Structures are given as structure tokens and as C-alpha cells.
Amino acid sequence: MSFNTFGHLFRFTTWGESHGPAIGAVVDGCPPGLAIDEGMIQPFLDARRPGQSKFTTQRQEPDQVRILSGVFEGRTTGTPISLMIENVDQRSKDYSDVALAYRPGHADYAYDAKYGFRDYRGGGRSSARETASRVAAGAVARLVIPEVTIRAYVSEIGGDMIDPGNFDEAEIGENPFFCPDPAAAKRWEKIVDDARLNGSSVGAVVECYARGVPAGWGAPLYGKLDADLAAAMMGINAVKGVEIGDGFAAARLTGEGNADPMRPPVETGPDGAPEFLANHAGGIAGGISTGQPVTCRVAFKPTSSILTPQQTITRDGQATEMFTKGRHDPCVGIRGVPVVEAMMALVLADHKLRHRGQCG
Amino acid sequence: MSFNTFGHLFRFTTWGESHGPAIGAVVDGCPPGLAIDEGMIQPFLDARRPGQSKFTTQRQEPDQVRILSGVFEGRTTGTPISLMIENVDQRSKDYSDVALAYRPGHADYAYDAKYGFRDYRGGGRSSARETASRVAAGAVARLVIPEVTIRAYVSEIGGDMIDPGNFDEAEIGENPFFCPDPAAAKRWEKIVDDARLNGSSVGAVVECYARGVPAGWGAPLYGKLDADLAAAMMGINAVKGVEIGDGFAAARLTGEGNADPMRPPVETGPDGAPEFLANHAGGIAGGISTGQPVTCRVAFKPTSSILTPQQTITRDGQATEMFTKGRHDPCVGIRGVPVVEAMMALVLADHKLRHRGQCG
Amino acid sequence: MSFNTFGHLFRFTTWGESHGPAIGAVVDGCPPGLAIDEGMIQPFLDARRPGQSKFTTQRQEPDQVRILSGVFEGRTTGTPISLMIENVDQRSKDYSDVALAYRPGHADYAYDAKYGFRDYRGGGRSSARETASRVAAGAVARLVIPEVTIRAYVSEIGGDMIDPGNFDEAEIGENPFFCPDPAAAKRWEKIVDDARLNGSSVGAVVECYARGVPAGWGAPLYGKLDADLAAAMMGINAVKGVEIGDGFAAARLTGEGNADPMRPPVETGPDGAPEFLANHAGGIAGGISTGQPVTCRVAFKPTSSILTPQQTITRDGQATEMFTKGRHDPCVGIRGVPVVEAMMALVLADHKLRHRGQCG
Amino acid sequence: MSFNTFGHLFRFTTWGESHGPAIGAVVDGCPPGLAIDEGMIQPFLDARRPGQSKFTTQRQEPDQVRILSGVFEGRTTGTPISLMIENVDQRSKDYSDVALAYRPGHADYAYDAKYGFRDYRGGGRSSARETASRVAAGAVARLVIPEVTIRAYVSEIGGDMIDPGNFDEAEIGENPFFCPDPAAAKRWEKIVDDARLNGSSVGAVVECYARGVPAGWGAPLYGKLDADLAAAMMGINAVKGVEIGDGFAAARLTGEGNADPMRPPVETGPDGAPEFLANHAGGIAGGISTGQPVTCRVAFKPTSSILTPQQTITRDGQATEMFTKGRHDPCVGIRGVPVVEAMMALVLADHKLRHRGQCG
């Protein structure tokens, strides 16, 4: 069984493979009356678009989004919004080796085990290309939560972390790594370029925060805001770990060290919300937002597409060796930044509507 | 909106608060014909039961489970299985302070922000007591996946890790910490006891593996096995981080270092499955199981219930200080072990059925 | 796969068999802060309770409902509401014939074909007893929609219809048939009593209206209010047909005859709603409520439990004859009235919340 | 909230309005490995296509379907199948009257009440054009259930019924009414043509059966096969009533008259299924298929688009009169036949997979 829909009230369903004619998403449950046009979606796709620097894959895709339904006179109608992105740069390539054997670390073997069959061209459905659909859907989600500001950035590449003291939000858009620390960005140029030149790859950590989320979104159990965020982030290709707030570091704290004390606001905030003296919790307590920034960290593995030959087996079980030909990201985490933002927006839009739906 | 159901084909819905008459779970979608009785559920509840050592809360609950439906002549009928556990030790206590002010780090403030109202007795619905329902449901899930062996254990308490070289599965049941390293268990006695005596608390990391999962469970996107595991684990009270396989450590590896090469099995395994030379992926590639052990790591924060007074606000916005009275776990992660196992079983049972459902 | 949950935002899950220790429902998604106690649920169960006249089954069940969770200080908390009804009158009986052969018209053969196994005592899960859980859940649903008045009644028994000219809502509660026409009620006494004395059974039609539903609940496609009502009603045991508004009679009208013209309200109604000059549509257009009364008609077949022996087969495929022993309803449609009302309430409560959830 | 997805394991989501660039459906959960191409979908769209006789709307749409994803080398891959149909004949037309006032009997007023806003061109999302998406999805569903034969036909137009004695399945495709009785088809020519010439409309009843459904599909409660069919059929535009088996007629029978006795098969059938001596139940007992043909009847109202002016109100509440300009079906039920077949296929495909999913 495949299940390509995410969300409860604000839902999206994606479709498409990297080498088919197009990919897309159907956004269902979007409230009516929101101003929207393709120009409000395109910038997010442009941020995710490959081929913009030597640090990402050289596949060239314009990634032009078209809105096929759900919009009338520049506003959402409340009916499904169909978004389509045509595939353009499906470079003719010889995939016979991928057809015959399983690339280690990729989903090839697992797909065949599940379906007995796979579209082996460019990873098919499991290609990172699918994330363009999420980014398009996420742009719609942002319209539902105008009170929220979402920002993601890379905090670590190949084990080299940013210096929190250098954090400058304005720098994020100023380098090809979505890096808020210019010094780190400088160092990463060499790390990523070395990986690229060696046909190797490196992992990365992406951090994301959402400011302006009011207290009260989420639910105590199962419909938890943090559980839904975890699923959203772990569902991104190449992600292997998710943290909310302090994450694994919280496991090393004492109760005192992990406390998020509150006091009355010095100046009365929105709804008289309290002032928090810390945010170890990442803005979520008991599955419900507290009004603090919602924060998460996401670990991207190094892509398995490398030039070093590795042991593997053919479809009929024989030993062989494989390496990855073709254009690939030396650090997939970089282009994960707009995807992480999109998933954050999609989860928050859903929970905003779910919170409204509860009121009797 | 609350949403207390988990799973697609094998689903469970839990209900109940710590100070109501009972808690429970309804398991729906369980296949028919499985041998079951209360004796097959009780041992898992006993493992989670509080009050078994000085290292966990002293609340005394027999946690006797009753099967109220869905079973006939000792076998599941395919209809909903209603499981109920009566609350016994609802010690009469003065909750007036919790009613009037918000315990920092707890869900109190978030609940009031969401619902305008909360059951303040013992945490109400957000109490760790609810996890007994999950453990009971998880015991049913195990019956659906007899081919799978699930084991969880504590690998770190208060920042003190086990030595992988000392790992001995047989030790897990031999100490009050579910610790596979006897030397670490010895050290943890002091760590946890100190926290208890100081009215403090410490965090923990729980690791879990599932052996015997065949290749092919899961789905490439959104219905991913790892995304569902992430939601399941992050949905456990006090959890702040989830890793699959190498998790965040993978972000520090190169593509070569993170590779999981395959070769033909030395001796023909089940279904001629390949032999993997590493398992950085934690048994999941592209959202689908590979046939290797499925592994995850889960970070539990230190409980926020501590004796040190902390700044907080009252329901009407005034500054105050609070500390936690009553019986609490100095390290909630310990009793998280059976819960992590239960969630692993619940996710795998669901995906086994989903995989079967796909076959045309 | 069984799937015992109904609804999207306001959901309920039922469990239990007629001969187990109890039956019940978990209501999830109920808004917080609603005043509730068992006394607000019990009257609806009492209306459905068997054994109140000679025209319904003589099984004697007090059907006392207990609230096990989700309520604090007399108000809903927004968490799951667990409702339990103990089974009392499980008269010891010989079910060996039902175990060995399939009662025609019952679900016996279909259950065995599906599950390979069934709880044959009193119909097990397919017993009409399960509808008590729905009635209890429906009573909670009514609290969510205080603006709506729901009333169902029997309009036809054994082919004998009420005279619309005699319709008197006040009469519905004054006879054992929920009949709004006293003359028809008089005639039905003989029809039903004859069926009872002959060990036969008769069918019935139940009609239901909901007044006070504002315009705008529902959705244009798939989430249609009428589609959800159809599923809700067809899901009641013994129901074989559902009509909204004029139903099948509309298929015999012309466009002119089926028109529901509108005009400005003579006196300004709520929200300046128009005045409709007819209601062929049953208060729903394009899947969305129009502000008129929502009306439906539901056909109940005669129960298959009759004394006349019928041809059937045994579990091992041999020809045999069976008749139904034990206590049964000569006209199950009568006790269907509170169930139809409950399902109407459950669907409307869900759609009220869904409508709120859409607002951006 | 809109909710445009139908089904649990075999799901489809439709999108698109009559006057947008395209409409379509995403089919998710389709098993892998099924042979498929556009030529297997197109014939069903051709059967639904308007403009094929003077008895249906003169809108001319080629309704060419394109498969955009989910298929590789002529077989389904198990990933989402995106189907798109471009809108071609969006005749430029003056919709200013529909923008300003509400067409009675249409969803115009309800849409505005719900969304505060609507796409008034040609009915927008509520246009019957959307059913092309369902027919395309239904064609995919048929591939999942090759063992089942589905056939629908019109049994009644404008109150004029077929003579069951004249029933000839071979005639269904031989006339523009999908009528199995040639004599009735002859009479209907005049009925429908008169309605067309008078700018009026007539209702219709569509009947549908599915042969070859094995015993065991469905579930006892809520996931009932008949409840899902009822939702599927009532969700078709203009449908106001649904019956399974004898439907409302069953309410007029006695238990003896409604019995479906069984006997051992004269010749051993598949799985030794019994021979039924009647099929009042329409092939479903207790929500589960019995192995008999699954039968249902669906009532279509006359379209509300007629030339006779009717009282209505403008968007700002003033009295006015309206009649429908443009091209419309004098009897929408006729083109409902392929849609009813599609919905039957979609429900059965879903339940086949759900039944498989249950097996432990």
C-alpha cells in the first residue's frame, strides 16, 4: 500500500516520478478566500531548484509551477488546488546498470522487495525531485498561517558546525548553503567541493524555527504537534533523525537544567501570553504549542550516490559492484532547507485548522 | 481537536486519565483467529508497572488488564478488542496548587491555552499513566507479528552511556534500568538515586531494535515506515528526539562511511535475502524495510516534576513559584522502555497488514 | 480489516458484542467545556432499550451508561470520552445450532467467509445490541449541536403508511411505535402483534429531520453531508435504503416539480437566510446544507429471525433447515428510531466542526 | 473543510472545475504490476462523454485522459497514478447572472453560505464534469478486480420503468439511454426529447450489479460494504436515494418474503460457495459480501437547470427570477450510468484490498 497524503484538515497528496512527464501535488482542505497566484509559490521552488551553484546537482529544471484548479479570480475557493510542475531535464541516460542491480543505500532493493518491480530511472518516485511538490504545497500552507514566520538553515555540514555566536539570520540567503554563519559558509565551500570532486558526499543538519505560533495548536496524544512534525521531517528523503527543542541534548540535562520557567510578560503580549525564560522544549509541551518559537533539528545522511564502487547484488542475486553515474548532490541536506520549511508550514497549517475545528 | 487513534489498518485508540476510574484502549483491525488471553498482555504491563524499585515512581498500580470484547473462545474474532485497566491508587491529594498555577515544563499552560480548561489531577490525560494503554495495545500487536523480535533497553542515563563492548542482551531484564551493560547499571543506581534524593530528575536514551522484519514493509513516501516510527516515538510523553539507524551521527559521515553494502548470502537466507555488511540505515531504505534489523533511538527528557521551586504564573497571570509534590519518576526514560517496544510493535503490525493489503 | 470508527473531527469508535461483558464507545474530538453527565445520555438509551412493550424483543437490559473518561467537574475536557454499558441479560442459551449452521439472512455465512471464525452467540458483533453504543455516542453529539433539533419517527410498518394529514409530532412519544399518527399506531398494534404471534417479522420506514442546521455545513464532493448521512444510515443494522429529501420520488418529478424556489425572508431570519418555498432537496444542495430542515428516510428490512424453518447449509456445507429460537424484535425498525436520530446527530456534529475547521 | 479523497486502501482524490484548464484524479494505493495504459481508461470516459446524442448536453469534450505518473513500462508501480483530462470546450459565456443571483436547486446559495465565495462558471467544482475524474479512476479500479463484472443501466426515466420481463443485457449498449429494455428505450426517446424541447428535465433511476464478488469483502460495522456503497452513490451529483438489494421494497416484506435461503451447490462452485435461492439482500449481509451479485439502485433527480423562470434571491438578498441558459442535460441520470459503475468499481477495489490487509 502506498499512502501519499499528509495532514488531517489541511492535506496534500503528491504524485510523480523524476522521469515522468510531470510531478505535482493536490492540496485539499485549504480555506477559501486566500489571495494566491503562481508568483506566490514560485520563489520557494526557486530556492529549492537544483543547478544554482556547483554545490548542488547540475540537473537543470526550471520548476515552473502551474495552478490547475481551486483558484478563482485570484483567490482560493475552498476546493482542491492542483499544482503541476513539468519535468524538463530528463536527460537521456543509460539506466541499464540500475535496472539490473541494486544501488546500496538507495531504495532499489527495498522497492523490489515490496513491489516486485520499480521505475529505476533516476530513483523514480523516491527521487529527491518529489520534494518540489512538497515545496509547492508548503507555499500554499504558508498562506493559511500568515501570523507565522518560518526559517530553516543548515547548522552543520560534514560534522562542521556553525558557531552560534556568529548566527546572523540575514546571512542565510547570502550563500549557497543557507548558512547563518559566514565563517562556516566559507569553510563549507571546501568541504562540499572536496566531496564533489572526490565523487563522495557529506551529511548535514538542518535547523528550523517557526515564530508566531500561538499557544494551543496540537493535541495531547497521537495528534501531537511534535509527533506530526517528527513524521513530516522523517518523511523527507535522506533524513535519519529529528529533534524538537533540545532533542537528544535534553536527555543529558537534569530537570532543573531543562526547565522553561515562565513569568508574567513585562509588556502585555498577545493574549497576555507569559514570558518564558528558556525554550528547551522547542515551543511544544504535552504535544501542544506554548507560544514560544517551535524549533526542530533534522539530520540528513550523506547521499548514497557516490563514485566509489561498492559491493552489491544483481536482481537475480549475483555479487557485483556499483558506483553512481550521473549528476548528484554532494550534500543533499543543503537543498533540504526549503523542504524542511515547507513541511513545517504544512504541519502548522493543518494544526491551525484542527485547533479551530475543535471549538464547539 | 483531539485525535487519539494511531495506525491505518492495525489501529488503536486510547482513552482515560490518571485520576478517572479507568484507562483503556480499543484495538481495531486486528486479524481474526489469533490466540489471545489476558495472560499474554499482562507481562508487558507488569514490566511497565510503577513502584517496582526505588528508581521509579512509588505509585502502586496493579494494572490488571481486562479484555472486554473482540475475543471468542480464546481467539481474536477480527472485531474491536477493548482493553480496560482500572485505576486503583488514585491517592487522595491536594491539587489546588496545580489547579491555580501552571507547572513549568508540563502541559498545564498549553492545555489551558488550547481547551480553556483542564483536568489538573495528576496530569490528567497527559499523565504517563496513559502509556499503560499503549503497552496493552502493543501486546496485541505482537501477536500479529510473531516473526519479529522486539527489544528495547536504556543506553544512557544522565549523560552516562553504556559501553557497547559490554552489551549483553541477557542483562536487560536483570536490573531495574533495562540496561544491557551491568557496569553501567551499577553506575546508574547512584545517578538515579541521587536525583531521587535531591528531588531532581535525569534524562535517558532508549534504544530499540526489531529483528525478523522482512524486506518490503513500509512505503516510499508519507506512509514511510521510518516516518511512522518517528511519529510513534515522538508521541510518547517526554520524548524530544528520534533517530533511525545512525541518526544524527549519519550527518557526520561521508557517503562511503555510511554505505550498507550487500552481497549474496553465504547460506541462503529466507527468500534469498542478501547479506548486508553494515546497517547504518537502521533497516529502512526509502521508507521501506530492507530485511535488516529495524533500529531506533529515542531521547527522553528529565521529567519536569522536581522539588526545586521554579518561576511560573497563575491561571490569572500572576507571578508565583512552584515545585512538584507527590510521587514521580526521577528518570521517566526507564519506564519508557516497554512503551518504546509497544510502539515499535504497533507500527510494525500496521505495516505488515498494509503490505498485505497492497497485493493485487 | 474491521473499521469501527465513524467521523472525521467528531469521531466515535464502538466495541463490544452482545454476549461479552460490556459494550461501549469512545468519542474523540468532542470540544471541551460542554456540560455533560450520565443523566444527559441515559434518556436516549432508555428510548432504545428493549423489553418496554410486547412489540419489541423481551431481552431485559438496564443499559446503564458509565462515563469513564474525558469529563472533569461536569464538563468535557476535549479528550476522549469513554462510554461503557455493561451487558446484564446474557441469558444462558444453547447456541449450538447457530454454531453449526448459517442462519439465512443473517451475517453468519458472510462472517465465516471473511474471518473463518465468528462469535455465534446472539449475533456477536452484528447484534442490534451494538446500536446502544451509537445511541450513547449520539447523545454526546447532541451537546455539540444545541442549535439543532432532531426528531425521527416510524412512517410505515409492514407497508402501512401514516397519513401525512394526521402528522402530530407530539404523538411520537405517546405510543410504542414512535408513530406521529395515532390512527396508524392503532393499526400497527395488530400488524406487529400478528407478526410476533406468528413468529414472523415486518419491515419499517423511519423518517428523520433536523431543524436548525445553518446553511454551509458539508462539502461539495466526497465530504458531502448527504453522502455521510447515507453511509451513517446504511451502516445501521437491517437498513437497506436511504433517501435524502424526496429521494426516489424525485426521480419521478420534472425539474419544475422538483424546484425549491427562494425568496427574501418575510421577517429577517437568522443571518438573513432566504425563505424557501419547498424542500424537495431535504435541506442539502451540492453536498452542503441550505438552512432548511435536513430530512432523510431509512428503510429497515424485516428481521431475518423468524420461526418458519428455512433452507440453509451447515458450516461443513451440508443442507439443513433452521428457524430462530429466542427473543427477537418482530419489527426492528421501531427500535431503529433512536439509532437514526443518533446517527443524524453524529454526522451533524462532525460537519459542524469540519465547517469551523475550514475558516482560515 | 473540503475532503476530496475517497477510499481507505485504494484511494482516489479528484480536483478541477468545469471552466479551469483541466480536471483530474490521483489514484493512490493501487497494487503494483497491473498492465495499464490510457487505452484501458478511455472507453469508459467515452461512454460518459457528453454530446453523443441529442439526449445529453451538447457540450463537446474529447475527454482525452493522460497518465502522468505511477506507470512504468506499461505496468502500475504501486505509486500514485495521476490522471489528467484537459478541458477544451469552455465556451465563452456570460455568467454575470449566475454571479449575481442563486440558481434554485443548485449549490450556488450553499457554496456562498459555506465559503463566502464561489467559482460561478458552469457550476465550478459542483459541475457534473467532475464525474469524468471518477470514471477515469474507476477504470483503474477495475484492473484491481478482474474477477468482477460490473454493469449499470437506466431502469426508469420520468417515472416510466422498464419491464423486467424485457431485460436484455445486450441491449444496454445499443441505445442512448443505457436501457436494457428496447421498448422502454423507444418510449424514453419521446420523454427525454419533450423535456429537452420544453427546457424541462426529468429524473431517472440507475441500477447496478457486480457479479463475481467473492464472499467476505466488507466489514461488520462502519466499514460496511453497503455503507461505503451508499456514500459512494449518494456522493454523485444529483443523487437523492440509494438502495441495496430490495431497498425500500424490503420494508414492505415479511421475514419469510425477504429470506435468502441457501443450499449446497448443485455443482461445486468456487470455494464450495452455497447456492442462494433469492437475493433480496443485494449480495451483502451484515456489511459483508455473500458471494451473490452485489446490487444497488440509485435515484437521480431531474437537473435543476430548466428554462422556466423561478423565484430566487440575489447575492445581496433581493428577490429576482432566474432560468438556466446554456447547454444542459435534460436527464442527468443517463450519463450517471458510467459514473455509478465507476463508483461501484472504486468501492469494490478498496474492499478487496482491505480484505487482504486483514489476513494475519
- For β-strands C71-72 and C160-161, DSSP reports them as unpaired
d(CA C240, CA D185): 28
pLDDT of residue A360: 34
Q: Residue C110 and residue D317: Cβ atoms within 8 Å?
A: no
Q: Which chains would you list as touching B if contact means 3+ CB atom pairs under 8 Å? A: A, C, D
d(CA D321, CA A339): 52
Q: Which of D2, D77, D84 sits opposite A80 (nearest CB)?
A: D2
Percent of chain B with pLDDT over 70: 95
d(CA D352, CA D346): 10
The CA-based angle B259-D77-A201, given to 5 degrees, is 20
pLDDT of residue A268: 60
Residues near D328 by Cβ (< 8 Å), separated by ≥ 6?
Answer: D57, D201, D303, D305
pLDDT digits 0-9 by tens, B176-185: 999 999 999 9
pLDDT digits 0-9 by tens, D105-150: 898 999 899 988 888 887 788 888 899 999 999 999 999 999 999 9
Nearest CA in chain C to B121: C72
A124 is in an annotated binding site: no
d(CA A8, CA A28): 10
Residue for cell digits 473518561? C69
Q: Residue C75 and residue B26: Cβ atoms within 8 Å?
A: no
DSSP-assigned letters across all residues of B306-325:
-SS-EEEEBTTS-EEEE---
Binding residues of D: 48, 54, 125-127, 237-238, 286, 301-305, 327
pLDDT digits 0-9 by tens, B33-45: 999 999 999 999 9
Q: Which of C222, C251, C319 sits opposite D4 (nearest CB)?
A: C222
Q: What is the 3-state secondary structure (H, E, C) of B180-237?
A: CCHHHHHHHHHHHHHHHHCCCCECEEEEEEEECCCCCCECCCCCCHHHHHHHHHHCCC
* DSSP H or E stretch at residue A337: helix A332-358
Residues of chain C with Cβ-Cβ distance to D246 below 8 Å are 240, 301
Residues near D14 by Cβ (< 8 Å), separated by ≥ 6?
Answer: A80, C221, C222, D4, D23, D24, D25, D130, D133, D134, D137
Q: Residue D79 and residue A15: Cβ atoms within 8 Å?
A: yes
d(CA B32, CA B38): 17
Residue B237 pLDDT level (bands cut at 50, 70, 90): very high
B149 is in an annotated binding site: no
pLDDT of residue B326: 67
A303 is in an annotated binding site: yes
Q: Residue D285 and residue C3: Cβ atoms within 8 Å?
A: no
d(CA D214, CA D152): 19
Residues of chain B with Cβ-Cβ distance to A258 below 8 Å are 105, 203, 301-302, 304
pLDDT of residue B360: 34
Query: What is the average pLDDT across D335-360?
Result: 89
The CA-based angle D96-D99-D100, given to 5 degrees, is 90
Residues of chain C with Cβ-Cβ distance to A34 below 8 Å are 360
pLDDT digits 0-9 by tens, B23-80: 999 999 999 999 999 999 999 999 988 777 778 777 777 899 999 999 999 999 999 9
In angstroms, what separates the C-alpha of D359 from chain B's closest C-alpha? 6
Contact A128, A61 (CB under 8 A): no
pLDDT of residue D122: 78
The CA-based angle C65-C68-C71, given to 5 degrees, is 105
Residue A1 pLDDT level (bands cut at 50, 70, 90): low
pLDDT digits 0-9 by tens, A51-95: 777 787 777 778 999 999 999 999 999 999 999 999 987 666 778
Q: Which of D14, D219, D230 sits opposite C242 (nearest CB)?
A: D230
pLDDT digits 0-9 by tens, B285-339: 999 999 999 999 999 999 988 989 999 999 988 999 988 776 678 999 999 999 9
Residue D258 predicted with pLDDT over 70: yes
Q: Which residue has the higher pLDDT, D92 or A280?
A: A280
pLDDT of residue B271: 61
Residue B13 predicted with pLDDT over 50: yes
* DSSP H or E stretch at residue A358: helix A332-358
Nearest CA in chain B to D78: B358
> Within 13 Å, how many C-alpha atoms sit on residue A310's CB side?
28
Bridge partners of D240?
Answer: none
Classify burial at D272, counting beta carbons within 10 Å of its beta carbon; exposed 0-12, middle 13-18, buried 19 or more. Answer: exposed
Residue for cell digits 520499480? A118
Residue B209 pLDDT level (bands cut at 50, 70, 90): very high
Residues of chain A with Cβ-Cβ distance to C9 below 8 Å are 9, 354, 357-358
- Residue D223: φ, ψ to 5°: -90, 25
d(CA C176, CA C42): 18
Q: Residue C358 and residue A354: Cβ atoms within 8 Å?
A: no
In angstroms, what separates the C-alpha of B158 from chain C's closest C-alpha? 33
The average confidence (pLDDT) of chain B is: 92
Residue B270 predicted with pLDDT over 60: no
Residues of chain A with Cβ-Cβ distance to D70 below 8 Å are 15, 17
pLDDT of residue C269: 56
pLDDT of residue A48: 87
Residue D44 predicted with pLDDT over 80: yes
Query: What is the average pLDDT across A299-306?
Result: 93
Enumerate chain C positions whose Cβ falls within 8 A of a Cβ in A: 8-9, 29, 31-34, 78-79, 144, 220, 353-354, 356-360
pLDDT of residue C23: 96
Q: What is the mean pLDDT of each run of 10 residues along chain C (360 residues)?
A: 88 93 96 96 91 75 93 95 90 78 90 87 85 97 97 98 96 95 97 94 98 94 94 97 98 95 77 87 96 97 91 92 80 96 98 77
The average confidence (pLDDT) of chain A is: 92
pLDDT of residue C1: 60
B324 is in an annotated binding site: no
The CA-based angle A299-A303-A305, given to 5 degrees, is 175
pLDDT of residue A27: 97
User: For chain A, what's the residue count?
Assistant: 360
